[in-house]
Structure 1
Amino acid sequence: MASQTFHHTRCNSFPLPSRPNPFISQIDEHLNRFRASDATSTSSSSISHKLNGFKDLYDCVDKLLQLPSSQQALAQEQHKECVNELLDGTLRLLELCSTAKDVVLQTKEISNELQSVLRRRKSGEIELVSEVRKYITSRKVVKKTIHKALGNLKAIQRKHVFSPSEDHETKAIVSILREVEEVTSSMFEHLLSLISRPEPGSLSLVSKLWHHKKVACEDAGREVNEFEKVDAALKFFAGQKNSKSENIMSVEMKNLLKDLELFIQDLEDGLECLFRCMIKARVSLLNILTP
């Protein structure tokens, strides 16, 4: 699964210039904050804050790439292969972001269907357990998609291309952009793993969920996120066959699904905004190769 900390892998071959570009310094500050942050937090407010932070990071990246000095440095023929490598990296990150957006949307759609069933349900009118099983099946598809994306991510073996140039500013730009790629990749790995975590299935956990207490997995020492709460509760109640259990679920699940809806909305908004910023930065980088 995802690593729990953002990696710091600055290449010593790419030192910062004696008078650092201000945008390089700002980007480095953003990266340091991400590395120092608690990557294990699963709350919607924390994730929303992280996504907003990455938006600000990519705003700085775009400003760096818009500088005439940056464009002139990267446009040199000897740096073309490096820039192409960076472009490939931005494409991989956009694919990860698209996967995250897609799986969040899929979960949102089936969650909305289940909420709709609960709102209009009358005794004996709808087989609620059947709808729950439909949700569980959909989540399995989502998790397979995520596992495939994470597998592809781990299979990528980066082979950095080093320019023979002695231009320290160019080296600093390439170095910081590679760091941005690595930290962003780690963030998406963590986020996708969070969405696909196996649901804890104990009866005691489900019981605690009904009382809206903060629940931590004893073996991992972490807070259970909204995806896990709903997955655990629905898996448990999918096996219940009496009307009393269904009635309890129809009342309590509304609260859990509402929390999940809010969590998903935070993810959707943050991912969409970040996606646009990443595209903008990629276009700026692409324009350097094709002026």
Structure 2
Amino acid sequence: MVSVFRRSLSFPNKPTPNRPSKPSLSRHTRSISLPCRSHPLISQLKDHITELQSWSSTCDSSSAWLVDGLNRLTELHHCLDDTLQLPQTQEALRRQPHYSSVENLLEQFLRFVDVYGIFRSSVLALKEEHSAVQVALRKRNESKVALYMKARKRMSNEMSKLVNEVRHCTRSSESVSPNSVNVGDVELAVVVTDVVQVTVMVSVALFNGIALSLGPRKSTTWRNMGIMKKGKVDDQYQGIHEFEQVGIRSLLGLRKKGAEEFKATWKNMRELEISIEGIETCTERVFRSLINARVALLNILTS
């Protein structure tokens, strides 16, 4: 025999005066606008910029520190070049009014390329003079020392001029105009402007460090030299240790130096040679990355 089951219907209890009704559940109202997500390359650019800013705060006045900064700068510009190849980046730059922002960015990168081109030539000339004085050092011949010191002084003056040149990039108008209703355009504008600023920062550290180390006036830091700007210290970068170890005092009187003193001088010369080669290699990479970024910008402007 099959049992018959009756279906029962349940209704919600009506609120009574002595029994309050349950509070209604609060619901979150979602926005109909979708969030704008950055491209991973933009995030990488931001990471590179942050790393360079942290690098600047850990100055230790060594050539290894400068080489590290130059390598980080090269990676930053490689990432920038990849970002400029993106269709959305090119569209964002084309939306700039009359391409004025892109043209300004092109001028800034042209200045960077020119500055690093001059620097490469100066480093090559110093490297040749350094090799020549090392030959004279082995023979304890001081005839090349005067020429070497003149080359150091000449490069110091050139580095001071390069500092002024590279600073013009930050004195000019913004790289990319952030006046846009598009969130992605604004983010790109900020990131590209930051790229220019950290490029100037690393370049000033390099050029100032060499100018201070090779110049006739020797001091430990720009801070001690009392270089002020609007009540604040303009530069915090120190001279390069390996460059400062080799001076005119260590090179004069070679024939009168004892074996230990001569050995120490020779060691300092070798360390300086390695430092010059390291800086030369890294600046060559920076130079190439700057050219690639400018070519990418030029393609966007002319396409």
TM-score (norm 1): 0.76
Equivalent position of 1:275 in the other structure: 287
Whole-Å separation in 2 of the counterparts to 1:133 and 1:178: 44
Q: Which residue of 2 aligns with 1:8?
A: none
Pick aligned residue for 1:266 from 273, 278, 282: 278
CA deviation after TM superposition for structure 1 residue 141, in Å: 0.8
Aligned counterparts, 1:44-83, within 5 A:
44-76=63-95, 78=97, 80-83=99-102
Q: What's the counterpart of residue 180 of structure 2?
A: 165
In 2, Cα distance between equivalents of 1:112 and 1:249: 20
Give CA-to-partner distance per residue, 1:27-73, whole Å, 9 cap, x none.
Answer: 11111111112352232332222211111111110111000111122
* Aligned counterparts of 1:27 and 1:134: Cα–Cα separation in 2: 44
> 2:150 corresponds to which residue?
137
> In 2, Cα distance between the equivalents of 1:134 and 1:235?
15
Q: How many residues align?
A: 253
For the Cα contact (< 8 Å) 1:136–1:235, is it kept in 2?
no
Of 168-177 and 133-142, the range deviating more from structure 2: 168-177
- Corresponding residue SS for 2:36: coil
Q: Decide whether the 8 Å contact of 1:87 with 1:282 is kept in 2.
A: yes
The percent of aligned pairs where both chains have the same amino acid is 27
Which residue does 1:180 correspond to in 2? 195
The 8 Å contact of residues 78 and 165 in structure 1, kept in 2 or not, is answered as no
For residues 250 and 178 of structure 1, do their structure 2 counterparts lie closer, same or farther at Cα, with a shift above 3 Å needed? same
Aligned AA (1:195): I
- What are the Cα deviations for residues 90-111 of structure 1, in whole angstroms up to 9, with x where unaligned? 1121122223322222221110
CA contact (8 A) 1:93 1:181 kept: no
Aligned equivalent of 1:41: 60
CA distance in 2, matches of 1:224, 1:271: 16
Alignment of 1:241-252 (within 5 A): 243-245=255-257, 250-252=262-264
Structure 2 alignment gaps of length 5 or more: 1-34, 226-235
What amino acid is aligned across from residue 209 of structure 2 in structure 1? L
Greater relative CO, 1 or 2 (CA 8 Å, sep 6+):
1
| TM-score (ref. length: structure 2) | 0.74
**3-state SS in 1 of match to 2:246:** helix
CA RMSD of aligned residues (A): 3.0
Counterpart amino acid of residue 102 in structure 2: V
| Higher Rg | 2
CA distance in 2, matches of 1:228, 1:154: 25
In structure 2, the residue matched to 1:210 is: none
Q: In structure 2, do the counterparts of structure 1 residues 96 and 253 end up closer, same or farther at CA, with 3 Å as the change threshold? A: same
For the residue of structure 2 that corresponds to 1:20, the secondary structure is coil
**Structure 1: which 5+ runs fail to align?**
1-16, 206-215
Q: Match for 2:265 among 207, 228, 253?
A: 253
* Aligned-residue offset at 1:198: 4.5
Matching residue's letter, 1:159: S
Structure 1 CA distance, aligned partners of 2:78 and 2:168?
Answer: 29
Tell me the SS of whatever aligns to 1:166. coil
Match of 2:243 among 220, 227, 231: 227
Amino acid at match of 1:183: V
